[in-house]
Amino acid sequence: MKPVPDPAGSVAVSMEVNGRTVERTVNSRRLLADLLRDELRLTGTHLGCEHGVCGACTVLVDGQPVRSCLMLAVQADGCEVTTVEGITPKDGLSPMQQAFKDHHGLQCGFCTPGFLMTLAGVEPEDHPDEESVRELLAGNLCRCTGYEGIVDAVMAAWDRSR
């Protein structure tokens, strides 16, 4: 008979999410993605595979793109977390979001927040041409667009000619 799981109890965490301080007591095994989605109701972060491949759940932790399905909520204690809600201006869209819209860089939109967060966490000058942009985007999967509109959007938002 398998042992009955006994998650090692709950842990108090404090983090800054989209600029607001959040204090919660979370189960130690709870994923950061589930804390964001189910407890903070920041449902713009999506779960596409829950094993770190598809990138839909990408958020920024202390400015770096991180898969929130591979990180425990307790590991984000003391960190700054940014989600797609946090990069969206109060009115309208950010330049990158607008570029996705202009270049048809999304269809169903499920993977889109993950792409946006990956892009929000990198320096454009580290990805100077289309090949390096595609390399950057290769960690996020999209099943609708064939990536064309996404690559076009990034190249436009970063003022690259093609």
Partner 1 sequence: MTARPTHIGAQVARVEDDRLLSGGARFAADIALPGMVEAAFYRSPLPHARIVGVGAGDALEIPGAFGPFTAGDMTDVSPYPDFDEHARPVGIFPLARERVRYAGAPIAVMVADDRYRAEDACDLLDVDLDPLDPVVTTDAALAPGAPLLYPDWPDNVVIGFPVDNPDANAEFDGRMAVSGRYEVGRHTGVPMETRGVVAEFREGRLTVWSSTQFPHIARTMLSYCLPLDENDIRVIVPDVGGGFGVKAEFYPEEVTIPWLALRLGRPVRWIEDRREHLLATCHARDLVLDLEAAVDEDGRFRAVRGMAVQDLGAAEMYPFGYSPAFTAIGHITGPYRIPHQSVGLLAVATNKTPCGAYRGFGIPEATFAIERLMDKAADRLGIGRNEIRRRNLIGQGDIPYTTSAGAIVDSGSHREAFEETVRVTAERVEHWRAVLGDDPGIRVGSGVVNYIEGVTPTYFMTTGHWTAYDSCSVRVNPDGTAVVSVGVSTSGQGLESMLTTLTAEALGVRRDQVRVVMGDTDRTPYGLGSWGSRSTNVASGALRIASDRLLEKATRIAAHLLEASPEDIEAHDGALSVRGSPGASVTWQQVATAANIRTVDLPEGVEPGLEAAATYEPPGIEHVPDEYGRVNAAATYTNASHAAVVSVDTGTGQVRMLEYIVAHDCGTVINPQIVRGQVVGGVAQGIGGALLEQLHYDEWGNPQSTSFLDYHLPGATEIPTMQVLHFESPAPAMPWGAKGAGEAGIIGPGPAIAAAVEDALSGMGVAEITRTPITAPYVLSLLPTP
Residues lying near partner 1 in the complex (CB under 8 A): 1-2, 4-5, 7, 27, 29-30, 37-38, 41-51, 53-54, 56, 83-85, 88, 93, 97, 100-102, 104, 106-113, 116, 133-135, 137-151
| CA 76 – CA 17 distance, rounded (Å) | 10
Task: Give the angle 86-98-140 at the CA atoms, nearest 5°.
Answer: 70
Please, which residue, 79 or 111, has the CB nearer to partner 1? Answer: 111
Please, which residue, 4 or 78, has the CB nearer to partner 1? Answer: 4
Supply the minimum distance, in Å, between the C-beta of residue 80 and partner 1: 18
Report how far Cα 103 is from the mean position of its chain's Cα atoms.
Answer: 20
Supply the minimum distance, in Å, between the C-beta of residue 51 and partner 1: 6
Supply the minimum distance, in Å, between the C-beta of residue 139 and partner 1: 8
The answer to whether 76 touches 15, Cβ cutoff 8 Å, is yes
Please, which residue, 3 or 123, has the CB nearer to partner 1? Answer: 3
Roughly how many angstroms between the first and final C-alpha of the chain, as a whole number?
61
Backbone φ and ψ of 138, nearest 5°: -65, -15
